Amino acid sequence: MKYILKGGFVADGETREVKRADVLISDGLVAAVGSGIAADGAESVDCTGLIVAAGFIDAHVHIESGMVLPEAFGEAILPFGTTAIVADPHEVVNVAGAAGLREFMQECGKSPADVFICLPSGVPATPLDTNGAGKFLAADMKEFVGDPMVVGLGEVMCFRDAAEGKPEMADKIALFKGRTIDGHTSGMPESMLPAYAAAGVNNDHECASKEAMYARYACGMNIYVREGSAARNASELLDGIKERDLDLSRFAFCTDDKHLATIAAEGHISYIAAMARAKGFGWGEIACMSSYNPARYYGLTDRGNVREGLRADLVAVSDDGREVRYVFKDGRLVAKDAKLLFDGDKKTDEPHVFENTVHLRDFSPEDFRVPERLEHIALKLVDGQLLTEKACIAGREENGVNLLATAERHGRNGNLSVCYIAGYGICGGAVATSISHDSHNAVCAGDNGADMALALARLRDIGGGYVIAADGKIAGELPMPAFGLMATGSAAEVAEGIARMERIAHSMGVNPGIDAFTTLSFVALPVIPRLRLLDTGLYDTGEEKFL
């Protein structure tokens, strides 16, 4: 198939120039860029007034956060011009180890947007709770390092291990010497930053302020400007780049975690590009950060710019970046006006059947009793935040207090921990999920033990996902049988399923200021302050001890 893109302005990410030019696409490649191009037999695409740039590349993302398989995730992002992503599948690997990673990489091959992998460096993320895979060490990584899909080492969340050169982490970093090693500095003492960067970590996507960005930039790290569903840092960081006229070769765009509903409402990398344009960045500069730099960082030499001989992964957008008019993938027109031009809801292959990874034991209503020593303590939610607080309560009878349980779901020890939760608000039932970062044990909140036991049993039966129980019956469920993390339907189907489950949960009194399921997905993550209910007990991150 041949296309001639006529009348547009080509944004070159390497030179950062924007010039009026036509672009000829032939046999999946950019065949020519310029004027007066001979285009016999080519279909003409009117790009008058549009910016033609290389397809956007998300420099760091967790597909699992979209709660769909890579194929459906690719279908969700492709209409917004993202033609490739660099994914860190640490959620899958925490659940299922090397075997899960092999299976996941096969699924990535089905995505219409190209997926590249950074091997997860932090499995387990902490030694405090129980994951499914145990440790994923350098020895386990060796079989994957030479795979063309693998382009780097995933975010080094165990920053102390890296800075102190501890052998297990040092071995992982050494395995990727000369390649990109992703960083993660959230919660790291600033005094540790020089040693962390010196260990070989190349970048950070966790800058929540200009000051943090400047510190990492000064240490030689590249900065990934992040805008996800919860972590929204792009506006401040883009302002900071402008204020100090920083070297744009050191920046890329990423989403990290962005949910399907947010993608559908806002776009993907396109959202950051439009924000940058509104702040006065030129399209050459935007193309540098959104395509050229991430391609260069990860050795993707066949793409990332509008140049003769490169892969024809292209996007044509309005000058303000708000309208994604055309998207080309491998030389084929795949989306127009933010809509796919192929049917993403109809799969030609038989759906993959995943092994059930949810191995919960049986529970009785009596199991959901709060230990006497925790009778006057509650994990208190904060509206619109992932952090929690430690609250003193009179007891269960206090208004708005529910039961919270975390159950080990990998079949390793059968642990169950129970405490009180304030600010959730469910009445007459229970909500359960198998998505619980990063170890992904089952989390359940409810106002009675019978419905909590029922919800967890159903979660096991369907292989994970979301379950709501009410008055002794299942009131709603959304199966996510792929590692207990991802549903097997299309992006549209899963987004509607999530919205439906949210409606049911909120109709049962769940606090309207929180996301009923995402909130529970983080209450067991001990790298975020302050109280976290792990399968091993209630942990106070401030005091660094179990209560």
How would residue 228 be classed by pLDDT, with cut points 50, 70 and 90? confident
- The reported pLDDT for the residue numbered 346 is 46
Tell which residue, 212, 187, 181, 217, has the closest CA to residue 199.
181
**Mean pLDDT, rounded, for 66-80:** 97
CA gap 431, 437 in Å, rounded: 17
User: How does pLDDT run across 441-499, given as a tens digit for each residue?
Assistant: 999 999 999 999 999 999 999 999 999 999 999 999 999 999 999 999 999 999 999 99
**Mean pLDDT, rounded, for 292-311:** 98
Tell which residue, 486, 368, 398, has the closest CA to residue 64.
486
Which residue spans within 227-297 are E strands per DSSP?
Answer: 251-254
Tell which residue, 19, 30, 89, 24, has the closest CA to residue 55.
30
The pTM assigned to this predicted structure is 0.94
Q: Give how far Cα 338 sits from Cα of 75, 268, 325, Å.
A: 11, 11, 7
- The reported pLDDT for the residue numbered 344 is 59
Residue 264, pLDDT above cutoff 60: yes
Q: What are the φ/ψ torsions at residue 458 (nearest 5 degrees)? A: -70, -35
- The reported pLDDT for the residue numbered 350 is 64
167: left (phi over 0), alpha (psi -120 to 50) or beta: alpha
> Do 346 and 124 contact (CB within 8 A), yes or no?
no
Averaged pLDDT score across all residues of the chain: 95
**Mean pLDDT, rounded, for 28-57:** 96
CA 388 from chain centre, in angstroms, equals 21
- The reported pLDDT for the residue numbered 494 is 95
User: How does pLDDT run across 378-434, given as a tens digit for each residue?
Assistant: 999 988 778 899 999 987 777 789 999 999 999 999 999 999 999 999 999 999 999
Q: Give how far Cα 430 sits from Cα of 21, 330, 362, Å.
A: 59, 47, 16
Give percent of the chain above pLDDT 90: 89
- The reported pLDDT for the residue numbered 349 is 57
Alpha helices per DSSP H over 109-224: 138-145, 159-163, 167-175, 193-198, 210-218
CA gap 74, 110 in Å, rounded: 9
Exposed / middle / buried, residue 336 (Cβ in 10 Å: 0-12, 13-18, 19+)? middle
**Mean pLDDT, rounded, for 195-219:** 96
**Mean pLDDT, rounded, for 112-135:** 95
**Pair of tokens at residue 199:** 């260990």
**Mean pLDDT, rounded, for 363-376:** 97
Residue 72, pLDDT above cutoff 60: yes
User: How does pLDDT run across 84-118, given as a tens digit for each residue?
Assistant: 999 999 999 999 999 999 999 999 999 999 999 99
**Pair of tokens at residue 400:** 């708005």
Least confident of 84-88, 304-308, 511-515: 511-515
User: How does pLDDT run across 339-364, given as a tens digit for each residue?
Assistant: 999 875 545 456 678 999 999 999 99
**Mean pLDDT, rounded, for 257-274:** 94
CA gap 459, 480 in Å, rounded: 9
Exposed / middle / buried, residue 266 (Cβ in 10 Å: 0-12, 13-18, 19+)? middle
CA gap 35, 86 in Å, rounded: 34
Strands 51-54 and 9-11 come out as parallel
Residue 248, pLDDT above cutoff 70: yes
